[in-house]
């Protein structure tokens, strides 16, 4: 799985397509609805994380390096590799 916002959009639209399948039974629709709900909850967290990063980048753009001690994640690579 790739971790890009375009991939997130693909997952959201795939969930929508599965929910719109006319051949699903009511049990399958319920299962897909729960799955879609979980996908949306995760998507919301990813979106909020993106907003936070954008806000930090704006602060850096406005205030320069003086703000970096308050934004320790700016410009640093993931510790995960």
Query: Would you call 36 helix, strand, or coil by DSSP?
Result: helix
Distances (CA, A) of 63 to 3, 9, 18, 52, 74: 30, 33, 46, 16, 13
Q: Is the pLDDT of residue 31 over 60?
A: yes
pLDDT at position 29 over 50: yes
The yes-or-no verdict on residue 30 having pLDDT over 70 is yes
User: Is pLDDT at 53 greater than 80 in this prediction?
Assistant: yes
C-alpha distances in angstroms, 46 versus 1, 61, 67? 15, 23, 24
As a whole number of angstroms, the distance between CA 50 and CA 44 comes to 10
Q: Tell me what pLDDT residue 25 has.
A: 95
pTM: predicted TM-score of the whole model, two decimal places:
0.70
pLDDT at residue 70 in the model: 78
């Amino acid at each position: 799985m790739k971790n890009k916002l375009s991939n997130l959009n693909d997952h959201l639209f795939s969930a929508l397509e599965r929910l719109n399948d006319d051949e699903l039974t009511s049990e399958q629709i319920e299962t897909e609805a729960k799955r879609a709900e979980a996908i949306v909850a995760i998507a919301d967290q990813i979106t909020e994380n993106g907003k936070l990063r954008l806000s930090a980048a704006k602060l850096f753009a406005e205030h320069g390096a003086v703000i970096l001690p308050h934004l320790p994640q700016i410009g640093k690579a993931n510790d995960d590799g």
